[in-house]
Amino acid sequence: MDLSVCIVSYNCRDALRDCLASIQRTATGLEHEIIVADNASDDGTLEMLANEFGQVVCLANDENLGSAAATNRAMERASGDFLMMLDPDTEVQPGALEHLIAFLRGRPWVGAVGARLTRPDGELELTCHPFPSLALTLYAQLALHRLFPRSSVFGAYDMTWWDHAAPRRVDWVSGACLAVSREAWEQVGDLDEEYSKCSQEIDWCYRLAQEGLECWYLPEAKVIHHEAASWSSTSRERILASQRSNLRFFGKHYGRAPEVLARLMVASGAVVRGNFWNIAGPLLAKPPGIITDPHTHSEVANQALRFEQLYREPEPPAS
């Protein structure tokens, strides 16, 4: 078996149907299997899979396990030489899967490779990033990455200084479409299930690097990403979940002091932005969106200052 495509679904029946159909259309040159780990959807997803995609392996969870745990369950079931994490709101374009697998197959020192993701209108989705750092956190809080996107220093936050037109080694790429070798997955281990809904791929790619393996971005592999509005990059839930995950990363991999400093930076930045929009919002007659909503920034600051949530090593299992 060449490839196991692992998809986690939760109440996204129609998007999942389109995703599966795109794999069927484009993966004709690979011996592959598709495994869907469904997190207790109640929108008819299981019925759709049974009626329309009988060849797809469906793991029906009794509850919403979260993305990381459901992905781990799918990976345990997978039998392919190469494994793929794929979001259900994606459409795989012709040749994408073949490009990813060929890239990994010929480079045993590469453990993971991500595709070029675009929005339905063709706009590039920024999926390549460096690992979190205090410097990057400071740039983000001062909005320097937005003011100077072409700077190799300040633009490093989203790698906006680079045109994304050629393959490149990167620290991490989005888990919306991420192919890994079985050897790398077994060497690095499962996704950390304690991450809050997102960013578990950052932790996994960091551990990949610690094992001496590389992560790459491959623009020849093209995938359209129909990101759901309820879980968009500007939703309050996404912002808070991303922040929790980022702070967990600092505590887990860099230690207590860097996590505290990161929390103070995030809280200070949120307070400044919240106060700005409290004043400027009415003057500009700008209807409050997520980014311009002072309440959102207040939530961000309050969450960052919950020092009782500082990262702690998990207790060892009782013998």
Burial class (CB in 10 A: 0-12, 13-18, 19+), 182: middle
Distances, alpha carbon 300 to alpha carbons 112, 134, 263, 296, in Å: 32, 17, 10, 6
- Which CATH code, of 3.40.640.10, 3.90.550.10, 3.40.309.10, 3.90.1570.10, is assigned to 3-126+164-227? 3.90.550.10
Nearest alpha carbon to residue 20 among 47, 51, 46, 56: 56
Phi, psi of 262 (to 5 degrees): -65, -40
Task: Quote the pLDDT of residue 229.
Answer: 37
Domain regions of the chain by residue span = 3-126+164-227, 236-309
Tell me if 243 sits within 8 A of 231, measured CB to CB: no
Q: What is the distance in angstroms between the CA of the first residue and the CA of the last residue of the chain?
A: 38
Give the span between the Cα atoms of 4 and 181, in whole angstroms.
Answer: 10
pLDDT at 286 > cutoff 90: no
Question: What is the mean predicted confidence (pLDDT) over 71-95?
Answer: 97
* pTM: predicted TM-score of the whole model, two decimal places: 0.93
Give the span between the Cα atoms of 172 and 141, in whole angstroms.
Answer: 21
| Segment 185-243, tens digit of pLDDT | 999 999 999 986 778 999 999 999 999 999 999 999 999 999 753 344 457 788 888 89
Give the span between the Cα atoms of 80 and 200, in whole angstroms.
Answer: 22
Give the span between the Cα atoms of 182 and 73, in whole angstroms.
Answer: 15
